[in-house]
Copies of this chain bind each other. A is one copy, B any other.
């Protein structure tokens, strides 16, 4: 077990990717009007990218125009006071090529949000990091 300087267990990239593949909700972190912004979304991992469905005129669609975002997932147990989190940082992009959209439409990804959500965003994990609170912390 490798610990960082604050005593948290460092999760390796393989473990981070396995946690990402199992999670269904994460949080997109971006900047909006020069302020930090965050929005939870349901997602799926496809070809190593985080894939999200949103509406064409949504804040996410606006925020994801070729920008660098963070994406976070976590799980905590308040009784045991433990848990883990994984953060990826990478470029987000709107999917515009029709063949690529057709391929994504085959995925089992339906937005939990109401209304028509036919805009796909992909986030490419360029930095991947994860931490776990050791159970005996």
A residues with CB within 8 A of B: 6-8, 24-25, 27, 29-31, 35-40, 42, 55, 58, 68-70, 72, 74, 76, 78, 81-83, 85, 87, 89, 112-115, 133-134, 137
> Do the beta carbons of A40 and B114 come within 8 Å of each other?
no
CA distance A38 to B76 in the complex (A): 15
Q: Is chain A's interface secondary structure helix, strand, loop, or mixed overall?
A: strand
A-B contact pairs, 28 of them (CB 8 A): A6-B55, A6-B113, A6-B115, A7-B113, A7-B114, A7-B115, A8-B113, A8-B114, A25-B74, A27-B72, A27-B74, A29-B29, A29-B36, A29-B37, A30-B36, A31-B31, A35-B70, A35-B89, A36-B89, A37-B87, A38-B38, A38-B70, A40-B76, A42-B76, A76-B112, A82-B112, A112-B137, A114-B134
Return chain B residues, CB-CB under 8 Å to A7: 113-115
Return chain B residues, CB-CB under 8 Å to A134: 114
> Do the beta carbons of A31 and B36 come within 8 Å of each other?
yes
